[in-house]
């Protein structure tokens, strides 16, 4: 039996630098806006504006977590104690941010229900101006964290930061809508109702991110199409059979695979590794090679032929 592990290096620095720069800039921008919205929400009596401000507080915390994750991953990129590298810290940061989003959604819903049952006076004019300012800041932040070469599909840390910005933009829009409705049409109940609507939407986004990052942290198998592609590349011709195949994410745009093959005429592990070398983002490959039939099985077992499925 041959056992061979390989890590093929690719350049992830551009994507990581984009994420680190973006989260650092958005963090400081958010802290200033957060303070203004929370103070204004209490001062002007607007639940929608206050909810937006407290959500931006969680958003600032999420940006701090994301920023820390990028710095930590950069400093530990070559740490030999991390078997598959530091890439999973991005999923961990995304998971933590998703939990934070859920807590904020629960707070927004609870406080909005309280204000719906016990209304308070609202200073619509000043509150609306602050909400518009918050929306502008959120749009600037979203542009800064915009998807660069589909980075959000792989970097859960960046995706979490981007989702926080989108959630902020949504709560700002809802706050503006509620405040204008109250000012011009006397619909004061719109303010807490929009807080509830925002909480529901944010909660749904957060649950999706929570599920997505949890799969990465739990080493969930990669998609079926990728498995089928690897099987096709290795078993093409019918002389080789893949007995075990595991493919999982170990970081943004980084995959690891463990392959156990049976071959009538066993060849070096590099031969089988070369068969999958062109698969995008497959970096860590471990190959076990057994003769066929496997010595651990009955001697009369036949090797796979061309009809193997």
Following DSSP, what letter does each residue of 231-280 receive, concatenated? HHHHHTTSSEEEEEEEEEEEETTEEEEEEEEEESS---HHHHHHHTTTST
Q: Rounded to whole angstroms, what are the CA distances from 73 to 147, 215, 273?
A: 20, 20, 27
Q: Is the pLDDT of residue 152 over 50?
A: no
Handedness of CA 29, 32, 34, 40 (dihedral sign): negative
12 versus 58: the higher-pLDDT residue is 58
Q: Kindly tell me the burial class for residue 34, based on how many C-beta atoms sit within 10 Å of its own C-beta (0-12, 13-18, 19 or more).
A: buried
Task: For the chain, state the CA radius of gyration.
Answer: 26
Mean pLDDT of 97-112: 84
Query: Which band of pLDDT confidence, cut at 50, 70 and 90, is reported for residue 220?
Result: confident
Q: Which CATH number fits domain 224-291: 3.30.70.1350, 3.30.230.10, 3.90.870.10, 3.40.50.300?
A: 3.30.70.1350
Return the pLDDT at 97: 80
Q: What tokens appear for 142 in the block? A: 């979203």
d(CA 134, CA 29): 10
Mean pLDDT of 262-289: 89
Mean pLDDT of 108-127: 81
Q: What percent of the chain has pLDDT over 70?
A: 80
Q: Kindly tell me the burial class for residue 75, based on how many C-beta atoms sit within 10 Å of its own C-beta (0-12, 13-18, 19 or more).
A: exposed
Q: Where are the domains of the chain?
A: 11-217, 224-291
Return the pLDDT at 159: 75
Report the Cα–Cα distance between both ends of the chain, in Å, rounded.
24
* pLDDT tens sequence across 291-307: 876 555 544 555 554 33
Q: Rounded to whole angstroms, what are the CA distances from 273 to 89, 247, 259?
A: 27, 14, 9
Q: Is the pLDDT of residue 127 over 60?
A: yes
Return the pLDDT at 58: 67
Q: pTM value?
A: 0.68
Q: Is the pLDDT of residue 210 over 50?
A: yes
Return the pLDDT at 70: 81
* pLDDT tens sequence across 84-97: 777 788 788 888 88
**Nearest CA among 98, 68, 86 for reference residue 254:** 86
Return the pLDDT at 16: 53
Cis peptide before 194 (omega within 30 of 0): no
Mean pLDDT of 117-140: 80
* pLDDT tens sequence across 234-247: 988 678 889 899 99
* pLDDT tens sequence across 156-208: 667 777 777 787 788 778 888 888 888 888 888 888 888 888 888 878 878 88
Q: What tokens appear for 76 in the block? A: 């530990």
Query: Which band of pLDDT confidence, cut at 50, 70 and 90, is reported for residue 14?
Result: very low
Return the pLDDT at 8: 42
Within 8 A by CB and 6+ apart from 86, the residues are 72, 73, 76, 77, 79, 251
| Geometric angle at alpha carbon 304, from 303 and 305, rounded to 5° | 115
Q: Which CATH architecture has domain 11-217?
A: Up-down Bundle (1.20)
Grouping H, G, I as helix, E, B as strand and the rest as coil, residue 286 is strand
């Amino acid at each position: 039996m041959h056992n061979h592990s390989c890590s093929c290096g690719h350049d992830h620095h551009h994507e990581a630098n984009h994420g680190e720069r973006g989260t650092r800039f958005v963090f400081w921008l958010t802290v200033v806006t957060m303070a203004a919205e929370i103070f204004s929400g209490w001062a002007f009596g607007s639940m929608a504006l206050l909810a937006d401000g407290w959500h931006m507080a969680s958003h600032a915390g999420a940006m701090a977590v994301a920023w820390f994750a990028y710095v930590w991953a950069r400093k530990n990129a070559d740490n030999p104690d991390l078997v598959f590298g530091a890439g999973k810290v991005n999923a961990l940061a995304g998971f933590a941010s998703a939990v934070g989003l859920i807590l904020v959604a629960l707070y927004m819903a609870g406080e909005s229900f309280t204000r719906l049952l016990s209304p308070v006076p609202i200073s619509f004019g000043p509150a609306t101006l602050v909400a518009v300012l918050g929306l502008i800041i959120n749009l600037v932040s979203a542009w800064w964290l915009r998807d660069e070469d589909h980075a959000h599909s792989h970097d859960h840390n960046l995706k979490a930061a981007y989702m926080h910005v989108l959630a902020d933009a949504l709560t700002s829009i809802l706050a503006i809508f509620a405040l204008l409705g109250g000012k011009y049409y006397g619909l004061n109940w719109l303010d807490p109702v929009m807080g509830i609507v925002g909480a529901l939407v944010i909660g749904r986004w957060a649950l999706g991110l929570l599920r997505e990052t949890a799969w990465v942290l739990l080493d969930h198998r990669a998609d079926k199409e990728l498995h089928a592609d690897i099987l096709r590349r290795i078993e093409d011709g019918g002389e080789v059979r893949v007995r075990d195949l595991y493919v999982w994410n170990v970081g943004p745009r980084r995959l690891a695979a463990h392959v156990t093959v049976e071959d009538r005429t066993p060849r070096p592990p590099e031969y089988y590794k070369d068969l999958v070398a062109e698969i995008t983002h497959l970096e860590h490959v471990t190959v076990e090679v057994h003769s066929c039939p496997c010595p651990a099985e009955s001697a009369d077992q036949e090797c796979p032929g061309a009809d193997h499925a």
